[in-house]
Amino acid sequence: MFNPRELISAVKKLEIKTRKNVDELTGGAYHSVFKGRGMEFCDVREYSPGDDVRTIDWNVTARAGHPYVKQFTEERELTINILVDISASADFGGNKTRMQNAIEIAMLIAFSAIRNRDRVGLMLHSDEEELHLRAKRGKQHILRLARELIVHQRKRARTNIKQLLDRFMQSQKKKSVVFLISDLMDPKDFQKSLRAVGKKHDLIVINILDEFEINIPKRLPPLLMQDAETGLLDFFKPNAKIHAAAEKFIERNKKACVEAGADWMLLKNTSDPTTELMKFFGRRNQRR
């Protein structure tokens, strides 16, 4: 646990580090990728030749007896929601744990958002909702997000991504940009919930894994390992099946996100979050 002085120091260090990276790298990229992408309904008008038929408002058309189309205005600000899986597996990692990576990239996103005067919300979840800060704007709100990410003590160890996504859908009615930060290590199926969020919101999944899990050394003696979420002990010995299963897990995650209409980004604990976020923004810009 942090005492008040240590907490202030930790938040300040995180702020300085992430704000510096935002200023140098991600501010402009964030703006070009997300700003002005949202469109909000404002009115209807009579159809004119050349109008996109996909914008026809069929309810108004039926009542009026002739076609009307919807009119939209560009949203001037966005709502960014950051969903963080804080289950016990987030503590796994060598020099840097998955949770440390999650905190850093969450704050990069948050500071990029407030730089563009967007609102930012945060949800921390294990196999139940542990914290939910509604989306707001402003530096004080972002510093509160940082404090919660640093000091929050998880109440439960296990993962339930389906419940996290379902809970978010219940609480967020308006379209937003959603960052799901997780190792995606959940034996339960969450594909249907992923599709529901991807259909309504602009969903980006940041899949955080340890380098060891991606590139498992081929020559290792048997290791006695404990599952952080269940407490079960088992011997781990790398072999062809283990390597194939690791590759299959990553491909499954990527495929699940693509099928859900979401963007998928792999973040290793050995990678720099700022650099990887910039690469992601660059790829996304090229597609639009």
Average pLDDT across the chain, whole number: 84
pLDDT in tens, 235-282: 667 666 767 888 899 999 999 999 999 999 999 988 888 889 888 888
Tell me: the pLDDT tens digits for 18-36?
A: 777 777 666 567 766 775 5
In angstroms, the CA 111 to CA 138 distance is 10
Instruction: Note the pLDDT of residue 78.
Output: 85
Question: Closest Cα to residue 194, out of 215, 178, 210, 183?
Answer: 178
The burial of 285, by beta-carbon neighbours within 10 Å (0-12 exposed, 13-18 middle, 19 or more buried), is given as exposed
Among 165, 160, 161, 120, CA closest to 138 = 120
Rg of the chain over all Cα atoms, to the nearest angstrom: 21
Question: In this structure, is the dihedral angle defined by the CA atoms of residues 148, 154, 157 and 162, taken in order, positive or negative?
Answer: negative
Residue-wise pLDDT for 57-66, tens only, equals 898 899 889 8
Instruction: Report the SS3 class of residue 152.
Output: coil
Q: Is the pLDDT of residue 197 over 90?
A: yes
Average pLDDT rounded to a whole number, residues 37-41: 57
pLDDT at 286: 75
Report the 3 state secondary structure along 164-219.
HHHHHHHHCCCCCEEEEEECCCCCCCCHHHHHHHHHHCEEEEEEEECHHHHCCCCC
Which domains are seen in the chain, by residue range?
4-34+77-287 (3.40.50.410), 39-74 (no CATH)
pLDDT of the residue at 235: 66
CB 72 within 8 A of CB 42: yes
137-189 tens-digit pLDDT: 998 999 999 999 989 999 999 999 999 999 999 999 888 999 999 999 998 99
pTM for the model stands at 0.80
User: In the prediction, which pLDDT does 24 show?
Assistant: 61
Question: What pLDDT score does 173 carry?
Answer: 87
The pLDDT score that the predictor gives to residue 2 is: 54
**Range from 42-51, 111-120, 154-163 carrying the lowest mean pLDDT:** 42-51
pLDDT at 285 > cutoff 90: no
Please report, for residues 35, 161, 164, the alpha-carbon distance to residue 190 in angstroms, rounded to integers and kept in the order given.
29, 6, 10
Per-residue pLDDT reduced to its tens digit, 70-113: 876 555 578 999 999 999 999 888 778 999 999 999 999 998 88
